[in-house]
Chains A and B, each alone.
Chain A
Amino acid sequence: MRLDQLPLKCPAKVAAVAWDELAETAARRLRELGLDEGVTVEALHVAPFGKDPIACRVGRMTVALRRAQAHCITVETTVEPVAA
């Protein structure tokens, strides 16, 4: 699943980041904000107009980013949906 598709309030782990799909500055900024493989993320809020950007908890920070960049980040949900 990509980070932009992750439902709100659903903790997940960053599995992979498509660094080469990101502009160089965007990639560096992502790393500086602690968004890296292995870190926990959780989508918390979506902006009111057009549901873009989104705000995510990344480690101990809240980070705002646009969906286009969030789409380059693959996540795995850590909490498995409760099996019926």
Chain B
Amino acid sequence: MNPAPMVALVGNPNAGKSALFNALTGARQKVGNYPGVTVERKAGRMSLADGRPIELIDLPGTYSLEPASPDEQVTRDVLFGKQEGERLPQAILCVVDATNLDNHLRFTLQLIALGLPVVVALNMVDMAERDGLKIDAARLSKELGVPVIPTVAVRKRGIDALREAMAELVGDGTVHRIAAGPGFHHEDLVVLQRRARAIAIAATKEEHGARKVSHTIDSVTLHPIMGPVLLFALMFVVFQAVFAWAQAPMDAITAGFDGLGHWVEATFPNGFVRNLLAEGVIKGTGAVVTFLPQILILFFFILLLEATGYMVRAAFIMDRLMARVGLSGRAFIPLLSSFACAVPGIMATRTIDDPKDRLTTILIAPLTTCSARLPVYTLIIGSCIPNRQMLPFIGLQGVVLFGLFVMGIVCALLAALVLRKTVTKGPSQGFMMEMPKYQAPSVRDVALGLWTRALIFLKRAGTIILASNVILWVLASYPVAPAGRLQTEYSIAGRIASAIEVVVKPIGFNHHIALALPPAMAAREVAVSALATTYAIDAGDDTDKASEEVGPKLAKDWSLPTALAFLMWFVFAPQCLSTIAVTRRETNGWKWPAFMVSYLFVLAYVAAGATFWIATWAGL
């Protein structure tokens, strides 16, 4: 059977491409990566009125066929049939913003010149009307020589008409693939721009006022005083929500995994399988899945701010501050995402077109305090930092937690400053961005975005984190120690830990910490379950009960300087395989992940050591 005809969805950034893609394909989407490059491949199935399937591929938004970023390179290569692992599309669905025709038509003209069948979705016609702009779609179609369908993708208007037009485009399904012609991508942009403007003027029937609504909102959001106040208030609300709203669902998930663990212990006979399932699989994975609510809440806000068009304004406000450390406002969004998790944060750097700027942002992303550090911070602060009131309503424990967050941010900025003057040296490319219109986001699009993020996160928990927990459990449980010897010393993991202890003893770490460090490399939160496991194994047979009491055990076993040094280690150390893996993927090699891991380890060692010795000297 022939594969379904492939149609490429192309358009300028901010044309509403993703909303149109969602409206046409719904949840039948697949996100992957192109081989060898870092650009996401987003494809989905849609069916025509008569039920015939079409594969719709969503290409990264671009202004022209002359690529600047890797994203734009992929768009070009797919349209020319040159992208490895991708067939040549049979037709092009080109999205243009009805309120910004003269600029978007330039790219449309380039696409039409490629020689593939094209249909134009004249998107956001409601916005155009709101702005007092009437466009004659029939006239536009005549001028361009291709069908033009008015749509409002976020409200799913015009989607059926679009389906019909696409049915005609792909014909009876037999593949007449014309090789893409050279188009006029060599032609001067200015010439194309003039033609686009002439067509736009010809097709515009009426015009009065322009983008009044967006301009009114901007007079508040970009106000010299109100603007930053609003931005910081929003950020405060976001972080408040992440920590306050997530508590209940997190507790529920923890309870669910505990229940599952008890069920396994009650059902299976005592032995290898039972212990592996209960301690290695369920406890370890549960410790990670617990963070799903926090990550989803953070992403909910990021997706919302992005869909409304506010994110670019945030980047605009922050640009000058970011420029002080050699970055641009564009780095603000990936760094904000990194508070949920550095992995999507690093992936979000794809929107930064300057390679040095992007590399710097990737290298400092692990310093922002991701949500995986929270369980570690909470455990250590809760058990080792005295719960003393410093000022009314302000306790010492809260101050320490806040201090760790601030330290992450300050060190990320300092690291950027140093990196930009050394390894990522180069002139700043500046900050040049289109500010999209404000738009009411579609609930469905935000929900779809959250769903995709949840799947990616759960996949990670089910693979890397699960595997590392199982490996740790096996290594810590075998060989079984003879009477009189501690299991955490005698086991394979214990012997590895003894070797590590030689290195980390000078910075105040004990044997149990040394044992928890390697598994925490897989994912930070594993440190909590690893400490629980090691103290539990030493406690004897009653592992379940022992693990519940890890807090008081730490309080008794660790000195305050050790606890502080351990916290500092977690501010800096590169302890997440996913981050290293995604850095490798996004930088196409081992050079930068190796560099990142080394500089973070050096920072962690020095910071933890300095903290330990200063705290010891101060008599804490």
A interface residues (Cβ-Cβ under 8 A, vs B)? 23, 25-26, 28-34, 36, 44-50, 52-53, 55, 57, 59-66, 68-69
Contacts and interface: CB of A to CB of B under 8 A. Distances in A.
B434 interface: yes
Nearest to B188: A31
B215 interface: yes
A62 B189 contact: no
Given A48-B228, A55-B316, A62-B218, A31 B189 contact: yes
Interface in B207-244: 210-211, 214-215, 218, 222, 224-225, 227-228
B347 interface: no
B5 to A, nearest CB: 31
Interface string B487-501: 000000000000000
Contacts of A69: 430, 432
Contacts of B215: 44
B103 interface: yes
A43 to B, nearest CB: 12
A81 B398 CA distance: 58
A26 B429 contact: yes
Given A30-B432, A47-B317, A25 B228 contact: no
> B interface, by DSSP: helix, strand, loop or mixed?
helix
Contacts of B160: none
A65 B316 CA distance: 9
5 closest A-B pairs by CB: A32-B63, A49-B320, A62-B435, A45-B222, A50-B320
Interface of B: 63-64, 66, 68, 99-103, 189-190, 193, 210-211, 214-215, 218, 222, 224-225, 227-228, 312, 315-321, 323, 329, 353-354, 427, 429-435
Contacts of B430: 23, 26, 65-66, 68-69
Contacts of A47: 222, 316-317, 319-320
Contacts of A25: 68, 353-354, 429
B432 A33 contact: yes
A63 B320 contact: no
12 contacts: A25-B354, A29-B432, A33-B434, A45-B222, A48-B317, A49-B317, A49-B318, A52-B320, A53-B316, A55-B218, A55-B435, A66-B430
Given A31-B193, A48-B227, 12 more contacts: A29-B353, A33-B434, A45-B218, A47-B316, A47-B319, A48-B224, A48-B225, A49-B318, A62-B434, A63-B434, A64-B316, A68-B430
A47 to B, nearest CB: 6
A63 B431 CA distance: 10
Contacts of B312: 64
Interface centre among B224, B320, B431, B432 (most CB of A within 10 A): B432
B224 A33 contact: no
A61 B100 contact: yes
A40 B591 CA distance: 47
A26 B317 CA distance: 20
Contacts of B210: 57, 60
B112 to A, nearest CB: 18
A60 B102 contact: yes
B103 A59 contact: yes
A34 B193 contact: yes
Contacts of A34: 102-103, 193
Contacts of A53: 316, 319-320, 329, 431
A14 to B, nearest CB: 12
B319 A28 contact: no
Contacts of A23: 427, 429-430
B132 to A, nearest CB: 12
A60 B211 contact: yes
A63 B317 contact: no
Nearest to B322: A49
A68 B430 CA distance: 8
B30 to A, nearest CB: 30
Nearest to B224: A48
A60 B103 contact: yes
A52 B321 CA distance: 10
Contact of B432 (A52, A59, A65): A65
